[in-house]
C-alpha cells in the first residue's frame, strides 16, 4: 500500500486588528508576483473551521523534529512550520490506520508489553499495568482458559467463480472502480489485510448471511435461502480488518464451530461480538465461550 503524502505547511496566524509587518510583506509579495494567485484569499471556511485548522497546525508543529528545516521564501521566515495529513481521498483501511491506537491502555504512550494472562490490553510499563489492574481484573479472569477456534480466511476481493469484491469511497469515480476490478481480475496475488492489532486480542463483529436480512453481509446470495449461513462478514470497530469468509473457501469444520456459537448466542442468530486474535496473515482465532460486552457498532 502506498503511504499517503504528508503536507508540510508554513503558516502565520494574524488577527485582523494586529497584522504583523511580516504579513504585509508576504501579502504584497504574492499580490505582485507573476504566478496566478487569484484564489489565494478566497477563504470560504467558517470561523470554527479556521479555528479547527489552526488548532491542528499548532498540535502538529510539536510533532516535527526540530532539525527539519525545509526551504522557505524570504517573506515566510517568521512563519511556523507544521504539517497536515490528507483526509481524502483515502480508503477505509487507510483511514483506519490513522484511527488506530495501539498505545498503552492507560496513558496512550507507545506500548511495549501486554497482559500476559489474556493478551487483550497493552501497556507501556509495569506502573501503568499495575494502575489498570483493578479495572482489568474481571475481564482478565473471565478470559482464563477460554476456548479459541482457528478460522482461516481468503482474500475478500476474490470469491472465485468471477465474483469480486472491491472497496471504494465517495471520492472514487466509476473509472477508478473499473480499473481496480480489471487489476483484480488480472492478478493472482492478494495482499492480506493489514495487521493493526499485532498479537493482541480485539473485538470483532461477526455477521452471517441470510436471504431475509438486510445489509452488506447478506448481498452476495440475496434471495437464495439455500445459501443461508454460508458467509461470515467479520470486522473490527475501525475496519482495520474486514474479511469475508465463505464456508466453501474456508475450512468447513472451523466455519461451523463459529457459526454454531453465533447462531446460538448472537442477536437473532445473525450477528454477535467475539474476541479475536490475528494468528496469521490469513487466519483469526475466535473465542467461542467468552464474550465481550455488547457493542454499539
Ligand atoms: Zn502507560
Ligand atoms: Zn489480562
1 band by pLDDT with thresholds 50, 70 and 90:
very low
Q: Which residues lie closer than 8 Å to 83 by C-beta, 6 or more apart?
A: 6, 7, 8, 9, 60, 61, 63, 64
Which residues are found with C-beta within 5 Å of the ion, ligand 2?
Answer: 115, 117-118, 140
> How far, in Å, from the CA of 133 to the mean position of ligand 2?
8
* Nearest one of 256, 257, 279, 260 to 269, comparing CA atoms: 260
Checking if the pLDDT of 84 tops 70, the result is yes
> How far, in Å, from the CA of 244 to the mean position of ligand 2?
29
> How far, in Å, from the CA of 96 to the mean position of ligand 2?
25
Note the pLDDT tens digit of each residue in 159-191.
Answer: 555 555 666 666 777 887 788 777 777 765 667
Checking if the pLDDT of 104 tops 60, the result is yes
> How far, in Å, from the CA of 248 to the mean position of ligand 2?
35
> How far, in Å, from the CA of 210 to the mean position of ligand 2?
36
Question: 232 with 255: CB under 8 angstroms?
Answer: yes
Separation between Cα atoms, residue 60 and residue 77, nearest integer Å: 19
Checking if the pLDDT of 2 tops 70, the result is no
ipTM value, please give it.
Answer: 0.92
Q: How close are the terminal C-alpha atoms of the chain, in Å?
A: 27
Separation between Cα atoms, residue 24 and residue 194, nearest integer Å: 48
pLDDT of amino acid 281: 84
249 band by pLDDT with thresholds 50, 70 and 90:
confident
Ligand index nearest the alpha carbon of residue 108 = 1
Instruction: Compute how many other C-beta atoms are within 10 angstroms of the C-beta atom of residue 297.
Output: 10
Q: Calculate the dihedral angle through the C-alpha atoms of 116, 119, 120, 122, rounding to the nearest 10 degrees.
A: 60
3-class DSSP state of 29? helix
> How far, in Å, from the CA of 287 to the mean position of ligand 1?
27
> How far, in Å, from the CA of 118 to the mean position of ligand 2?
4
Residue 50's alpha-carbon distances to 35, 44, 76, 266, in angstroms, are 25, 10, 20, 45
> How far, in Å, from the CA of 290 to the mean position of ligand 2?
13
> How far, in Å, from the CA of 75 to the mean position of ligand 2?
56
Strand positions, DSSP E, the chain: 7-11, 80-84, 113-114, 122-123, 148-152, 158-160, 163-164, 202-208, 231-236, 242-246, 271-280, 283-287
Which percentage of the chain shows pLDDT scores above 90? 23
Beta bridge partners, 202, equal: 276
> How far, in Å, from the CA of 112 to the mean position of ligand 1?
9
Identify the DSSP state of 1: -
> How far, in Å, from the CA of 199 to the mean position of ligand 1?
18
At 137, phi and psi to the nearest 5?
A: -55, -45
Note the pLDDT tens digit of each residue in 181-226.
Answer: 777 777 656 677 778 887 788 999 999 988 877 766 566 666 678 8
What grid cell was written down for 151? 478460522
Pairing of strands 148-152, 283-287: antiparallel
Question: 225 with 212: CB under 8 angstroms?
Answer: yes
Domain ranges of the chain: 7-84, 92-142, 148-155+191-287
> How far, in Å, from the CA of 123 to the mean position of ligand 2?
11
Residue with cell 508489553: 113
Amino acid at each position: 500500500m502506498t503511504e499517503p503524502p504528508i503536507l508540510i505547511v508554513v503558516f502565520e496566524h494574524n488577527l485582523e486588528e494586529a497584522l504583523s509587518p511580516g504579513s504585509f510583506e508576504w501579502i504584497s509579495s504574492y499580490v505582485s508576483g507573476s504566478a496566478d494567485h487569484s484564489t489565494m484569499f478566497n477563504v470560504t471556511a467558517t470561523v470554527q473551521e479556521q479555528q479547527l485548522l489552526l488548532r491542528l497546525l499548532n498540535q502538529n508543529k510539536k510533532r516535527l523534529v526540530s532539525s527539519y528545516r525545509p526551504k522557505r521564501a524570504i517573506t515566510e521566515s517568521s512563519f511556523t512550520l507544521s504539517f497536515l495529513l490528507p483526509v481524502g481521498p483515502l480508503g477505509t483501511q487507510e483511514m483506519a490506520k490513522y484511527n488506530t491506537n495501539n498505545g498503552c491502555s492507560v496513558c496512550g504512550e507507545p506500548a511495549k508489553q501486554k497482559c500476559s494472562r489474556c493478551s487483550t490490553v497493552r501497556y507501556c510499563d509495569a506502573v501503568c499495568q499495575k494502575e489498570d489492574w483493578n479495572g482489568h481484573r474481571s475481564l482478565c479472569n473471565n478470559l482464563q482458559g477460554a476456548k479459541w477456534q482457528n478460522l482461516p480466511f481468503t482474500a475478500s476481493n476474490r470469491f472465485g467463480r468471477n465474483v469480486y469484491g472491491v472497496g471504494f469511497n465517495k471520492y472514487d469515480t466509476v473509472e477508478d472502480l473499473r480499473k481496480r476490478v480489471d487489476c483484480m481480475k488480472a492478478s493472482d496475488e492478494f495482499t492480506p489485510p493489514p495487521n493493526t492489532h499485532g498479537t493482541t486480542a480485539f473485538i470483532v463483529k461477526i455477521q452471517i448471511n441470510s436471504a431475509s436480512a438486510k445489509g452488506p453481509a447478506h448481498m452476495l446470495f440475496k434471495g437464495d435461502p439455500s445459501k443461508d449461513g454460508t458467509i461470515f462478514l467479520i470486522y473490527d470497530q475501525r475496519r482495520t480488518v474486514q474479511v469475508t469468509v465463505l464456508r466453501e473457501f474456508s475450512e468447513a469444520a472451523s466455519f461451523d464451530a463459529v457459526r454454531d456459537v453465533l447462531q446460538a448466542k448472537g442477536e437473532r442468530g445473525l450477528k454477535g461480538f467475539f474476541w479475536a486474535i490475528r494468528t496469521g496473515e490469513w487466519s483469526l482465532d475466535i473465542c467461542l465461550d467468552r464474550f465481550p460486552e455488547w457493542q454499539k457498532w
